[in-house]
Amino acid sequence: MGYFGYLAYYNWSYLIFMLPCIIFSLIVQGYMNSTFKKYSGIRNSRNLTGAQAAQRVLMQHGVTGVRIERIAGNFTDHFDPRTNVIRLSEPVYDSNSIAAVGVACHEAGHAVQHAEGYLPNKIRSIILPAANIGSKLSWIFIIAGLVASALQPLLYIGIILFSAAVLFTIATLPVEFNASSRALKCIKATGMLSDAEYTGAKRTLQAAAMTYVASAATAVAQLLRLLMIANSRRD
């Protein structure tokens, strides 16, 4: 394949594989932002804050030794298994909104997963070191392999490294969905929210989950695109 033919193929492969994923990701991001904004503006009838809701999930599952801390920023909520700390963003920690309860319970769900040794969570942790290396180094090898034909073996090394990062995004999906499932079951079992409020929390967590689906879809599409480019260069 000549240079101009390869360039055209490269551009068309981007349109075929990546553009739909980018559009999908933008739609999902917009939906998540609007859903979170909507239910962040509605106070729950129990007047529970995000921090209190997370604590209730831990108590319901008999999980102890987990701290709940405030962290700056928006959408920065996470559970850190290294320090056993749930960190809730400022719009969640002290907020008594429906969205805050949903998000906080989700993060507490991750803490419960860690305490119970949830298998998919362990698998994701095993993949994490390779994924970190892959996300940092893969494109160095990929670009080098694309620029110079003599360095084409580096392209395949880069693709292998990138595959580790893709595998991590896929392994993340069951972990995130399960954390939301645990959160919603606990919300319903403990009566933290009314039925209408529960629906709002569920929609908030479903919208957030779709961002992980979009991320995984984009990563898989990029990997397929790289494999097609590598195959075309070999031919």
* Residue 77 and residue 88 in contact, taking contact as beta carbons nearer than 8 Å: yes
Helix (H) or strand (E) holding 78: strand 78-80
How many angstroms separate the Cα of 64 from the Cα of each of 149, 181, 206, 219?
Answer: 57, 20, 27, 36
SS3 108: helix
This prediction has a pTM of 0.88
pLDDT tens-digit map of 141-178: 998 888 877 678 899 999 999 999 999 999 999 999 99
| Rounded (10°) CA dihedral 157, 162, 166, 172 | 110
Q: What is the pLDDT of residue 129?
A: 95
In this prediction, the residues of the chain whose per-residue pLDDT falls under 70 are 1-14, 150, 233-235
Instruction: Please give the helix or strand (H or E) that residue 51 lies within, else none.
Output: helix 50-60
Dihedral angle sign, alpha carbons of residues 182, 188, 189, 191 = positive
Integer Cα distance of 88 and 76 in angstroms: 7
Please give the mean pLDDT across all residues of the chain. 91
Catalytic option among 107, 116, 176, 197:
107
Question: Beta strand pairing status for 85-89 and 67-71?
Answer: parallel
Task: Please indicate whether residue 107 is annotated as part of the active site.
Answer: yes
